[in-house]
Amino acid sequence: MTDDRTSPILVTGANGALGRLVLAELIARGSADLRAGSRRPEALAIAGATPVRVDFNDEASLDAAFAGVERVLIISTDALDGAGTRQRQHLAAVAAATRAGVAHVVYTSMPAPALDHPIYFAPDHLATEEAIKASGMGYTILRNNWYFENLALSVPGALAHGAQLTAAGEGRIAHGARADFAAAAAGALLGETQSATYDLSGPEAQSVQDQIAAINAALGSAITVVPMEDAALEATLTGAGVPAPLAALLVGADRAAREGRMDKVTGHVERLSGRKPQTLADWLGANAHRLRG
């Protein structure tokens, strides 16, 4: 690994939760030429970073933002419309980075993306990874596992009803804290020179039963785990008012866990960030309140 604190670095998605954490890490580590990319740069006020306009639907904005950049973090977009928009956006960003002569691209992917993956946006990540590898740029692909923060999608409902519905069976997820994955991304931007793919995980893989036991201990709750089949779970969620795309995502993640696609525990977060990742118990100690809805 090298030290690229003086290199021009661009972080896309700078106004999002992950982007802001990455920027904070880079600033803390002394990055001297840092650019924060957002569709609304006027909304950014980050001391130590220059706001620039980055619109994945606007080729001209990508060309302007990537000009003169040596290293870039492409954070996957939130265009989950099922119409291929996200994949087109990602490929446009990769093409712009290639045209600009970016030396090294870091990309936030997902565990084991595949065309047959039960999480519906997995093909977007697979296509982006393939485009990056074919571009000729150096790359670091970060296959981020599920964030602890994503528990806020389901736990408030579980608290309200006293039950966590799941189709994951005994499947395990090696989820981790968003801040730890952000620190790993910052480390990759500042130090990685060889092309590589890293699976980012927390320090342990847990079943839904393990997760709920930890949450009950942290919150003093008494949530029970209720196993369900995929179709029944999706119907129950949508019938309760959960938007169909979110219900499909939750069920897809359960199936992915059940199929063993999300249980890989690695030391890659520590390798890239220089610090040990938090356990779920650690994270709950500071963030349990976030799960109350």
Alpha carbons 204 and 225: distance in angstroms, whole number: 20
- Look at residue 1 in the predicted model and tell me its pLDDT: 47
Does residue 229 sit within a domain? no
Per-residue tens of pLDDT for the chain, all 293 residues: 456 678 899 999 999 999 999 999 999 999 989 999 999 998 888 889 999 999 999 999 999 999 999 999 999 998 887 788 999 999 999 999 999 999 999 999 999 999 999 999 999 999 999 999 999 999 999 999 999 999 998 899 899 999 999 999 999 999 999 999 999 999 999 999 999 999 999 999 999 999 999 999 999 999 999 999 999 999 999 999 989 988 999 999 999 999 999 999 999 999 999 999 999 999 999 999 889 87
Does residue 289 sit within a domain? no
Give the CA distances from residue 52 to residues 9, 43, 104, 163, 240, in Å, rounded to whole numbers and listed in that order.
Answer: 12, 11, 19, 45, 41
89 — phi, psi (to 5°)?
A: -60, -45
Alpha carbons 195 and 203: distance in angstroms, whole number: 24
Does residue 207 sit within a domain? no
Alpha carbons 3 and 152: distance in angstroms, whole number: 36
Element (DSSP H or E) covering residue 86? helix 85-100
Domain of 24, CATH number, reads 3.40.50.720
Task: Please state the pTM of the whole predicted model.
Answer: 0.94
Does residue 114 sit within a domain? yes
Does residue 73 sit within a domain? yes
C-alpha triplet 122, 44, 92: angle, nearest 5°: 35
Of 264, 168, 157, the residue nearest 208 (C-alpha): 168
Structural domain that includes position 268: 8-146+176-202+264-277
Does residue 40 sit within a domain? yes
Question: What is the domain count for the chain?
Answer: 1
Query: Looking up tokens 């990874």, which residue turns up?
Result: 129
Does residue 218 sit within a domain? no
Alpha carbons 82 and 19: distance in angstroms, whole number: 23
Does residue 240 sit within a domain? no
